[in-house]
Structure 1
Amino acid sequence: MTINPYVDATLLGPNTNRRDCHQEFAPSLRAWLTNLEYFADAYGAYGSLTKLVYDGMYVSHRTSPSFHNTGEAIDIKWFDWSSGTACRPCNADFDVSSSTSAYRRMVGVEASLRKYFGNVVSRGYRGTDPDTGEILPYVHADHFHADTGCPVSFSTGKESNQLFARDCIRAFTLDTTTGYLSTSATNPNQWTTAHQASLDALLASLSMDCFDIDTNISEYLIFLDYIMMHAFADRAAGHFRWSGAQDL
């Protein structure tokens, strides 16, 4: 798929007041799309991306700072590939009970975003209305948000990272015992020893038990690559295993 990141006729959304993105945001967008298309086709024979539906990059928030205000963020709802495969968060692909394959694909797409954008959030993340300050528990229930507002990194102390790690555990180990983290305003997400044990088990299944993805960015990026490989091949954790320093 050819996307002009400055002017794109597929841009949707009633709150969009411009159809371009910041010139410093465009390289990350191009690199991400190229990488996503490669992994999806190499491991899942998806073919080329044919459709990307997003709600906009420039979205004016009157009373609160936002990377949408400067064209350095994107909200994405829909992906189509030439093979007929799709990833559609707006159609409940976020629900593991609806389809394991669709759920894994969703996690793979999120992993691809996390390689290029420091801030990525999806369903389950508690947002705040930029104009009213109201807590919105499911503000990203039907789309991915990605921006370059911080460096690419991982921390189990960060809510969006907790949610992503939990999705990886559920999608590739089918371990649902840790459950969904609470997203209510009065009982925010908590990362427990049970969650950490499940994440450690996932890493071990990938032969990455020596990895520290919280502090080592190279190891975190390798982990994201292997999540994408499993996601687009629709395989449980361990089908692909890290084989050593040659993968760095």
Structure 2
Amino acid sequence: MELNDQTEILNEASAFFKKGELKSAEPLINQLILDGHKSAEVFHMLGTILYDQGKFNKAIRSFRRALELDPFYTDASIGLSIILNDLGRYEEGRKVFEEAQVMLAQKSAKEDPYIEEKLAIKHDELGELYCQYRRYDEGLEQYERALQLSSRVPELTMKIVDCLENLNRLTEAEAQLKSLVKTYPDFFNARTKLGKIYYEQNKIPEAIDAWENVLSRDPNHAQAKKLLAQAQNIEFIPAQEPYL
């Protein structure tokens, strides 16, 4: 097949693929491969289609072939790591993902925000997996890596705080929340969480102050109302008279 013909077929297959019309893209991709076309994009698309069909082993081979052709093809790395995680091969998935980051760092010192965010999303997903199985240390590590790459600072910081809370590292959780509240003063969920962390450290007055601060700005904040009421009930229960 002439090069121009292959380019035309690739463009058509790519257009179908981007629109999610995988059944239309598949025969075109197979035709390109049969004709000896070798590009990471083609094998990445094939891997995605095979994954969608539940043909995981074939999908893994396609993604690995894409990475052989272009080790910097981030989408193939992400696709491969997702499949490995789906199959419970978490360590392999993490290794693939981390290798992709190294390759990207070697390729260019200039950061690409789009790629950085895609990598951050993957770290976020891995963090959620670890936390699902109560492996909070490893979850914390993944969330911290995601935070280094992402602009989603409030969301990821709150996940970091949840891990620290589960690990009983309350002083660190408090520091994270104080920094977050300073940068995002209107992020009331962070202020409410800070009150909860104070409360868990028996800093009752500080906790009450944090929740009252939230309610002064958002009187209908349900969680702050609930936590404040609970704290005030404990704070102001009168001491019982001793029995004589």
Same fold (TM over 0.5): no
TM-score by length of 2: 0.27
The answer to which structure has the higher helix fraction is 2
| Structure of larger gyration radius | 2
The answer to which structure has the higher strand fraction is 1
